[in-house]
Structure 1
Amino acid sequence: MRTWKRKGRGSSLRICSQLDPHEVELLASMIGSMQELLTERDASAPRDELSELTGIRVGHTEAPSDVTLGRLLPDFHRPDQDRELAADVVNGDVNSALRSVHEPHIIEAKLTAARVVLDTLPRGGGDLALTEAQAMEWLTALNDVRLALGAMLGISEDTPDQLPPEHPHAAHLDVYHWLTVMQELLVESLM
């Protein structure tokens, strides 16, 4: 991946870069995997008569047990954020209600961003020219994929910048850093 560059002005403004064929394949694969996780989560949401009658979608009331999904769909409020609320209230009623109401919309937004990336990837590699709106969707999808990979790898402040080449996660950590750089450069080009 080359750096992102702004070309044009106004409605003709494009955020441009180039991707190698293997980068396109890697992004498509990772985003496709994330789409599957989110689609399965959405499909497994409870359905009730009221939501069927009103058309108002509801989601799960419980946080995902999967680490990766948990990172993509975290609780809305944690006990350490507000000392005034008792932990059982925050973890129970508040998060359950917020999750039920908002999770379907969050999943849809993440899936929309993923679709934009997949639709705009240059097949077989090559030039990429995004509108500002598409670039914002790319930021969302890149962040989501990076968060998912980071959760799977257990990335923390203590994670070294590099792992020994023989380490089973060495290549995955390199991909994580590549996504981080791609995201940072895209943010800079949008500013």
Structure 2
Amino acid sequence: MMRTWTRHGTGDDLRICSNLESYECQLLASMVHSTTEMLAERRGSAPQDALAELTGIRTGHTTTPRDATLGRLLPDFHRPDQDELLAAEPLAADLNGALRSLNEPQIIDDKLAAAGTVLDTLPVDGGDVALTPEQADCWLTALNDVRLALGAMLGITDDYHVPGDDHPHAGHHDVYQWLTVVQELLVEALMGVR
């Protein structure tokens, strides 16, 4: 099991450090790769817009991903408590699509960049990790994305029940819990709690 994250140094020399076992690195790398593949496929399938090519402003999809995992990674810009407003205001639904089209390409780029930072700083065979605060922020983004993807697969919602040890998803749930702890400890280290 991963040790906690600790702070070393100050100012520009500040590093957030830990040590990961080889299997932890392999598991994390595999999950980050899977998430980036989904995001890259979504980016690659975005409609091409002639006006966007002329202006240099990239556009993305105007509709929510059909896949539940991508839907968690790239949610709509409106909240469920605004559904009544959307039903009453047809233009509000169009606005959501426009916001998605304009913002999704950059959101995907940012998520892929964060994932790339994790993969670049993750020791292949396990070992020490020393992150700048900026790299640690990228780790938090990527860890959150992996947790969201795994949570969508597991169907984690407010009324989710933890599966028993004999359930086929018990191992996946354990990984989800491990990611939660890694993320929480990293947040605490960044905040100076640890």
The CA RMSD over aligned residues, in Å, is 1.5
Give me the TM-score of the superposition, normalised by structure 2: 0.93
31-40 or 78-87, which deviates more: 78-87
Give me the TM-score of the superposition, normalised by structure 1: 0.95
Mapping for residues 5-154 of structure 1, pairs under 5 Å = 5-78=6-79, 80-81=81-82, 84-87=85-88, 89=90, 92-154=93-155
| 1:64-112: CA deviation from partner (whole Å, max 9, x where unpaired) | 0000000000000135137555455366211100000000000000000
Q: Is the 8 A contact 2:6 2:189 kept in 1?
A: yes
Query: How far apart are the structure 1 equivalents of 2:46 and 2:29?
Result: 26
**Equivalent residue, structure 1, for 2:176:** 176
Q: Is the 8 A contact 1:77 1:90 kept in 2?
A: no
Report the secondary structure of 1:38's partner residue: helix
Query: How far apart are the structure 1 equivalents of 2:146 and 2:91?
Result: 28
Task: Name the CA shift for 1:124/1:73 in 2 (closer, same or farther; >3 Å).
Answer: same
Report the secondary structure of 2:19's partner residue: strand
Residue 52 of structure 1: how far off its partner (Å): 1.0
**Between the two proteins, what is the percent identity of the paired residues?**
66
Report the secondary structure of 1:18's partner residue: strand
How many corresponding residue pairs? 190
Paired residue type of 1:127 = D
Query: How far apart are the structure 1 equivalents of 2:16 and 2:178?
Result: 18
Q: Is the 8 A contact 2:86 2:92 kept in 1?
A: no
Residue ranges of structure 2 left out of the alignment (5+ in a row): none
